[in-house]
Chains A and B, each alone.
Chain A
């Protein structure tokens, strides 16, 4: 399974765009990249999933370069309520147990 590396923490201010990059150098051909968000004392929540290029939904955008060895989660105009831990997971669709939630990136949004 592809190992992922992401920053331990990031700080931002309200209204800024935040980009969190995840490295996954040994990503396999059938692996997808999925991001989850976790607020304190709550379970992780699915944000976005992609395979290549760019995916956008109402919450975030996911940018994946052609070599797929990294990906960037982009949160436009963050607010205080975006303060959370963000996890990058790489694996086949429906991998279930095979996905490992590492330490994630702790994003702190300041006023």
Chain B
């Protein structure tokens, strides 16, 4: 039973560039949430996708966008990268309702130079 998988594991970009991160949910899950975790802090909610639509969004600028595909996998896109975007980006999957437990992937470590 495959868990949540994310790619790539590490990424180095420069300011102003664009990046795409990918996530495949755990088998049987249909909902994908994305989080940003800075060092020493708890994860911060970016947005959640369900039935290929953005269901909820946290306090992140429009530079952060996403997509969910019919197979429930998801992408996170960040445009015009800033130094402050350096963080661990976590994908979590769950089934159905918003209050269900979320299971995390191993994350993508994004470094902006």
Bound pair: A and B? no
Give chain A's interface residues, CB within 8 Å of chain B. none
Using CB atoms and an 8 Å cutoff, list the residues of chain B in contact with chain A: none
